[in-house]
Structure 1
Amino acid sequence: MSKLSIGVSKHDHLQGKLNAACSLVEYGDYECPSCGEVQPTIRSLQAHLGNRMSFVFRNFPLREIHPWAEPAAEVAEFAGSQGKFWEMHDLLFANQESLDESTFHALLEKLGLTDSGLQLARSSGTAKERIDADFTGGIRSGVNGTPTFFLNGDRYDGPTNYESLVTLMEQVLISNGD
């Protein structure tokens, strides 16, 4: 079983407490259908486990097969720089079948963000640096597809349905004394 090579930190896109008893890290791609399908499961896990769980999303755009994954990640990172990462994250997955520049424009507008701000972020390269750092960390952790999950630092390759994940996470909580 492979391990997460870069531990969760305050620099991650994190929902929940940094030191939560269950830490779920996803390496994902905004154009990946399987990543889109698992998002409702993650929300259900968060609702069920509350502050006992944290969730981290890291970018792993599969550039060769998903041409809009990296531009979508840039949009998410730009939104994140404006304090709206999770709102954009959810919107990108909700619109993943129609990712293109016009969709990005509409989503930016919906969140009160500007195309010119996105273009500035793209030209500065900061979003790309973050995406590349996530991707490299994923490679170092043995990620080779999306979605790839790590639970408390250990790679999880089992089923990603709610029942399987909640059972596993509750077992982790019990073994941790929570």
Structure 2
Amino acid sequence: MNDDRSQSSLLIPPSTQDWMQGVLSAKVVLVMYGDYQDLRSAEVYKLIKALKRELSAAFGEDYLCFIFRHFLQAQIHPQAQRAAQAAQAAAAQGQFWSMHDTLFAHQQKLENGYLVEYANNLGLDIPQFLKELSKQVHLDRINQDIESGIRSGVTDAPALFINNIRYTGRWRMTELMAAIVVASH
């Protein structure tokens, strides 16, 4: 029988290698495994952004650290991998979060032409962006995120961990906020 704890704990701890908003020393570190083409991932991310604004206003900027890790479900979301590569290519030019927000906001339009349009709108170096996409230079980084999720018992996106413990509650502002506040004590 599996140790239930291994299925409910984040086995690859947050680090400076992750895409984060906030500091690792925050009272609460929220890790999200997500897929840019997944509707629920976009909804949960929108919820987290609102929650982050409220918590920052109430408790200060260093209260919550938000980390995003890729967890593609390529078998049901064929454009998710390319979108994740676009986010990573944008990251190489210092624009991860801008591209990340754009991809979730336009998740019905993730074909290559749109990805280039988004990169152009962010002022990215397009030849560099296209080269990195075509050579798939960021695939290993994406696969590391997926593997870390699998090791922590993630089977689909979205998945959340609050201070390294899997969040299994409802995807609602009040429930998630309560879980975060409890975790901070």
5+ long unaligned stretches in structure 2: 57-61
CA distance in 2, matches of 1:67, 1:143: 19
**1:1-178 mapped onto 2 (5 Å cutoff):** 1=5, 2-50=8-56, 51-173=62-184, 175=185
104-113 or 1-10: bigger deviation: 1-10
Following superposition, the deviation at residue 157 of structure 1 comes to 1.5
Secondary structure of the corresponding residue to residue 66 of structure 2: strand
* Contact 2:85-2:136 within 8 A present in 1 as well: no
Q: CA deviation at 1:114?
A: 3.5
State the percentage of identical aligned residues.
37
Q: Distance in 2 between matches of 1:31 and 1:86?
A: 16
Matched residue of 1:57: which SS?
A: strand
Q: TM-score, normalised by structure 1?
A: 0.93
- In terms of fraction of residues, the more helix-rich structure is 1
The 2-side partners of 1:44 and 1:10 are apart by 24
**TM-score normalized by the length of structure 2:** 0.90
Q: How many residues align?
A: 174
Question: Residues of 1 paired with 2:68 and 2:151: CA distance?
Answer: 16
**Alignment deviations for residues 92-131 of structure 1 (CA, whole Å, 9 cap, x no partner):** 0000011101110110010011432123223554310100
Show CA shifts across 1:14-57 (max 9, x none): 00111111111000000000011112211111112222001000
CA distance in 2, matches of 1:124, 1:40: 31
Partner of 2:138, secondary structure, is helix
Code of the residue aligned with 1:65 in structure 2: it is I
Using the alignment, how far apart are the partners of 1:71 and 1:85 within structure 2?
A: 14
Q: Distance in 2 between matches of 1:125 and 1:104?
A: 14
Q: CA RMSD in A?
A: 1.2
